[in-house]
Structure 1
Amino acid sequence: MGPTEAPRRRRTGRRLRAVPAGLATGILVTGLVAAPAHGTGAGPGPGSGTAIGTTPRTVGDAHYEPGPCPKTPEPIAALKGARCGTLTVPENRAEPGGRKISLGVAVVPAVSQRPKPDPVVWLAGGPGDDAVGEAQLAVDGGINRDRDLILMSQRGTYSADPVLTCANIDEFAARSVGLVYDAPSTERLHVDATRTCREQSVARGAELGAYDSTESATDYADLRLALGLPQWNVFGISYGTDLALIYLRDHPEGIRSVGIDGVLPPSTAGSALTWSSARQGFDGLFRACAQQPACARRYPDLPATFDHLVRQLEAEPVTTTVKVPGRAQPVKVVLDGGALVNWMTSATHVAAGVPLSLDELAHGNPRRIAEQWAGAKFSPQAIGRIAHGLAFGVFCREWVPFETEADTLRAGRAAFPTFPRSVQAQAPQLTFLHADCDAWKVPAAPRSVRDVTRSDVPTLVLSGGFDSQTGARSGEVAARTLSRATVVTIPYVAHVTYASSPCAQEITLSFLDAPTAPKTGCVSGVRPPAFDTGPRT
């Protein structure tokens, strides 16, 4: 393994960026389980001896009511002993007296016998993930060590009412592994699935234009008041960082600190950004291999191999069949250039096996990549859990109106100039997004939704060196207008560092203890994965 370069420091507020020559991987860690509830400090929790989340309260048009814990697809151990309830808010705050919607709330008690008075509220990713379903992820990283953890389902998500999940979209995504990724015929089927989702959402009575980040940010502002909390800490992951920055910009009152991990600035969110992020994450992984002698010898020019494969597969897709867990019959998989790029975007999470997988594909064996590509889409965890009604609200109101398809193509050319045009035109993770939004039919948000967030609230900006979904440079962009930001890039770690890096978890807890002076020394001890150099098959 190559040595890790010492972190280099530079100031914009208080910033630390670890910049080793190579960069990271990770899957979820396991660990801490919440202890029983104890009294905490101010409001109906802190200061009054009443635990957070146990008192009904109405603030303006919002009402919190204690009650059963929100539904989750499977039992979640971290929610055992949680205090739960429902926040009811207007669906569209521009229409007084209009329809109300409800959002599930869970308060996971602090492990400490003497919890701090300012809890942490967790903002989920997606857009469309349900924060309540991420309770175990949050707790396993120790975030409720000495503070209560608050989780609320964003509007439209799995434990909200109405629920705007659309299993038909997930089912089509699974079937589409057997189609040419960016073919016009695939686009037509893709957009048909989007239209069906829209019809289902409207049939549930949803006003689609009310499902976006601006409304969600106001929901969290209402939740803090409805729980009687003078102050809390905000921690967002992935899309939750976009939401956290909008929340901080629009409703800064009562926010003690903000942590953002896998950063997506509202001012730049969209298709073009995903191309830059992919380049950063891929390059980080390739450099790490090149710096590891065994990997460099076994795979002497990995970037060229990947580039050649994308071009070759786009010209002549490879079709194979693979077995995936839970399905009796083999699944047909078509690997073309676009499919390979999108597989790679997620594969940085399992970076140790990426060089071998690409080498096998280059030598005529697509099995490993095909199994991973199809397995992720056919997994039960991929079906019926994402609130596509919220996702399209964010995409089609806040992102797509402010960039063109030509912008996406230019970004693809800038990041990967040798890729075929058909690959460059479809941004990783956001294929056919403009066509989707033409079908979704919601008005654009005011241009102010793209305003940068300017704040002196202490902010921890975490990025991963292997993050090919929200590249580390986005964290630096967001921090330029956050005067008390600490910026940390964890080397060799993929998207959402908190989920897989003990160092990121350690820094997060240190930040909550001392938001203007977190301890970041663990970064210098992070080591690259041992890349798999097994024999060709």
Structure 2
Amino acid sequence: MTSPTPPRHGRPLRRLPAALAGATAGALVLGLAALPARAESGTGAPLGTVARTAGGGHFEPGPCPRTADPIPDLARAHCGTLTVPEKRSRRHGRKITLAVAIIPAVAKRPASDPIVWLAGGPGDDAVSEIPMAVAGGLNRDRDVIFMSQRGTYSADPELTCRNVDEFVANSLDLVFGAPSTGRLHVQETRRCRDQLVSRGADLSAYNGTESSADYDDLRKALGIKQWNVFGISYGTDLALQYMRLHPKGIRSVGIDGVLPPALAGGAVTWKAAREGFDSIFKTCAEQPACNTRYPNLKDTFERLVVELEARPITTTVTVPGRPEPVKVTLDGGLLVNWLTFASHLAAGVPRSIDELAHGNPQRIAEQYAGGKLSPQAIGRVSHGLVFGIFCSEWTPFESEADVIRAGRRAFPSFPRSVLANAPLLSWMHADCRAWDIPAAPRSIRKVTRSDIPTLVLSGGFDSQTAPSSGPYAARTLSRSVAVTVPYVAHVVFADSKCAQTMTVSFFDRPDAPDTRCLAGLQPPTFEIAP
């Protein structure tokens, strides 16, 4: 789902503190890409040969892509680039290149059908997510292929905009939901757009339809008859589009942290917040120690949102790596966005809310500021892809009034100023008016109907894409297994050994994944203040 001054979907992608560290303009799951440094090419012989596809794709082996942070696994990867048309309706127009890294299977005799990884965001770089995939054992029996989506950090061109990220980082003392803050954010969005257009980018070409065709081209260019797909967060939206548009050659699909294209936008984000927050509050209430120490947690949180929106407070915190103290202003909208990401650290949520209720905002302010000021939050997310998707596939099919109505259904007590900005998607409609690209065809919102075996994973604490979105997507996938992993937040593969076991077993046996581990899962033990 990796933030307009207000945080947007970030990090997706990923876990806290990485999730908080990556809440940038529009990322559902934050990107992990950043400073321009190129990795050395893998030690193994590059996979494949120069190959072209009927769709215009051209793969060529070569050095491994640049990465923001060191990724040791690239030392054994096979790498190269896929060159594709920027816009397929103009076959002889500008070309762009997408970085490809293939992590070999651990097994000596790997299966012949690899897995291709679809990154979160929108706007995250797939190559940066290699450590997550490897840590989860995804490459146990199969090679795993990572390709940078168009416009992302290791692609050429990369459509990142540091000015937007830096505005978010430097505006912590502003009132999060104030119209003046929104106007400043939109100003930076327009500046970003102008920069990218001046560099020759056709902003209407950065979307899920073109990305789906990129993956179809990659499979063909690598000479792979059949492969498996695994998408996280925004990557589930893309995976469902890819299944609908280019089903040939897909053996099975795993989707984790599900964002169905038919629902994508602010309304479902309010629904996600309601479901994820309530699951945390309910789990606390079911533990005697937590319920005794932090009674009526749900009511306390919602009261604080209303109170802070009416009377924001400013505090000063110390952030690691920053020599000077940082001022943070907390209003109701910021508190909602904080909890959306803090669900990844659910064990500490009740204590943080209780401290705020008793006049101490430090824990919340430190977490929030630490995320926004982290190096992982600057210069890594592709704003060209973020807004390309938001502004062509989401906002044209959902009005600002729709978002407010959905917010009011989920949180009737919240004031309109909070409801106007869905969690992680603040100022999205205003930004899209500045981005000024055409709407996608209405077919982009179609549900995916398929008999491809699909594992549909959701987290019980997922406040970014909603636990209920998994079963919704599974309704029209006739050979799907839908699983909600309790007590885990957005993208369960990253945090849950059980989810990792199920996922790996699914790709071995798509019709019979091993779900036995679900029976032994236990809730977190919540922190109790002395």
Structure 1 residue 26: deviation in Å? Answer: 7.4
Letter in 2 for 1:501: S
2:334 aligned with 1:325, yes or no?
no
SS in 2 for 1:106: strand
User: In the alignment, residue 85 of structure 1 is paired with which amino acid?
Assistant: G
Give the 3-state SS of the residue equivalent to 1:70 in structure 2: coil
Show the counterpart of 1:422: 417
CA contact (8 A) 2:46 2:80 kept: no
Partner of 2:154: 159
What is the match of residue 24 of structure 2? none
Any conservation in 1 of the 2:43–2:75 contact (CA below 8 Å)?
A: no
Alignment of 1:104-503 (within 5 A): 104-503=99-498
Deviations 1:403-426 (A, max 9, x none): 000000000000000111111111
Question: CA 1:27 to 1:367, structure 2 compared with 1: closer, same or farther past 3 Å?
Answer: closer
Q: Does 1:102 align with 2:97?
A: yes
**1:342 touches 1:428 (CA, 8 Å); kept in 2?**
yes
Within 1, Cα distance between the matches of 2:150 and 2:84?
Answer: 10
1-structure distance, mates of 2:511, 2:43: 29
Give how far 1:52 is off.
7.4
Matches within 5 A, 1:67-82: 67-82=62-77
List runs of 5+ in structure 2 lacking aligned partners: 1-14, 19-41
Separation (CA, whole Å) in 1 of partners of 2:201 and 2:47: 27
Which of 52, 68, 82 is the matching residue for 1:58? 52
Measured in 2, the distance between the counterparts of 1:37 and 1:172 equals 40
Q: Give the whole-Å Cα distance in 1 for the aligned partners of 2:504 and 2:16.
A: 19
Q: Is the 8 A contact 2:46 2:61 kept in 1?
A: no
Residues 125, 149 of structure 2: 8 Å contact kept: yes
Q: Structure 1 residues 26, 328: closer, same or farther in 2, change over 3 A? A: closer
Question: Percent of aligned pairs with the same residue?
Answer: 66
Is the contact between residue 27 and residue 499 of structure 1 (CA under 8 Å) also seen in structure 2? no
| Alignment deviations for residues 126-169 of structure 1 (CA, whole Å, 9 cap, x no partner) | 00000011001111000000100100000000000011011111
Secondary structure of 2:303's counterpart equals: helix
Contact 1:52–1:227 (8 Å) recurs in 2: no
In the alignment, which residue of structure 1 is the partner of 2:31?
A: none
Q: Does 1:523 align with 2:507?
A: no
Distance 1:204 1:326 in 2: 33
Q: One-letter code of the match for 1:521?
A: R
Q: How far is 1:78 from its partner?
A: 1.9
Q: Does 1:86 align with 2:81?
A: yes
Superposition deviation, residue 96 in structure 1: 2.0
The separation in 2 between residues aligned to 1:346 and 1:454, in whole angstroms, is 31
Matched to 1:523, the amino acid is L
Secondary structure class of the residue paired with 2:160: coil
Query: In structure 2, what is the equivalent of residue 33 of structure 1?
Result: none
Helix, strand or coil at the partner of 1:177:
coil
Contact 1:37-1:109 within 8 A present in 2 as well: no
Aligned AA for 2:228?
Answer: N
- Supply the distance in 1 between the matched residues of 2:167 and 2:47 (Cα, whole angstroms): 39
How many angstroms does 1:496 deviate by?
0.2
* 8 Å Cα contact 2:393/2:440 also seen in 1: yes
Deviation at 1:176, TM superposition (A): 2.3
1:69 & 1:37 partners in 2: Cα distance? 10
How far has the Cα of 1:37 moved from its partner? 8.8
- Report if aligned partners of 1:464, 1:497 keep a CA contact under 8 Å in 2: yes
SS of 1:263's partner is coil
User: How big is each residue's C-alpha offset from its partner over 1:66-124, in whole Å with a ceiling of 9 and x where there is no partner?
Assistant: 00001001210121210000000000000121000000000000011000000000000
Max radius of gyration: which structure? 1
Q: What RMSD in Å do the two structures reach over aligned CA positions?
A: 1.3
Q: Give the letter aligned to residue 369 of structure 1.
A: I
Conserved? CA contact 1:52–1:107, under 8 Å: no
8 Å contact 1:299–1:355 — kept in the other structure? yes
1:80 alignment partner, SS class: helix
Q: Secondary structure at the match of 1:472?
A: coil
Match of 1:533 in 2: 528
Q: Distance in 1 between matches of 2:166 and 2:77?
A: 33
Amino acid at match of 1:298: R
- Inter-partner Cα distance in structure 1 for 2:60 and 2:230: 24
Q: What TM-score do the two structures reach when normalised by structure 2? A: 0.91
Amino acid of the structure 2 residue aligned with 1:379: S
**Code of the aligned partner of 1:314:** E
Change (3 A) 1:37 1:502: farther
Please report how far the alpha carbon of residue 59 of structure 1 lies from its aligned counterpart in structure 2 after TM superposition. Answer: 1.2
CA distance in 1, matches of 2:504, 2:439: 38
* Matches of 2:91 and 2:17, distance apart in 1: 45
Q: Distance in 2 between matches of 1:452 and 1:160?
A: 29
Amino acid at match of 1:142: G
- Separation of aligned partners in 2, 1:393 and 1:119: 29
Residue 27 of structure 1 and its aligned partner are, at CA, apart by 7.3
Q: Residue 54 of structure 1: CA displacement?
A: 3.2
Moved over 2 A (4+): 25-28, 51-54
SS at match of 1:228: coil
Aligned CA distance change for structure 1 residues 505 and 132 (closer, same or farther; 3 Å): same
Task: Tell me how far apart the structure 1 counterparts of residues 488 and 195 of structure 2 sit (CA, whole Å).
Answer: 38
After superposition, the Cα gap between the structure-2 partners of 1:443 and 1:207, relative to the gap in structure 1 and judged at 3 Å, is same
Q: CA deviation at 1:53?
A: 2.4
Q: What is the distance in 2 between the residues matched to 1:178 and 1:502?
A: 39
Where 2:328 maps in the other structure, the secondary structure is: strand
In 2, Cα distance between the equivalents of 1:406 and 1:54? 51
TM-score, normalised to structure 1's length? 0.90
How many angstroms apart in 2 are the aligned matches of 1:175 and 1:26? Answer: 21
User: What amino acid is aligned across from residue 266 of structure 2 in structure 1?
Assistant: S
- Decide which moves more: 70-79 or 238-247: 70-79
What secondary structure is seen at the aligned counterpart in 2 of 1:469?
Answer: coil
- Please tell me the residue identity of whatever aligns with 2:72: A
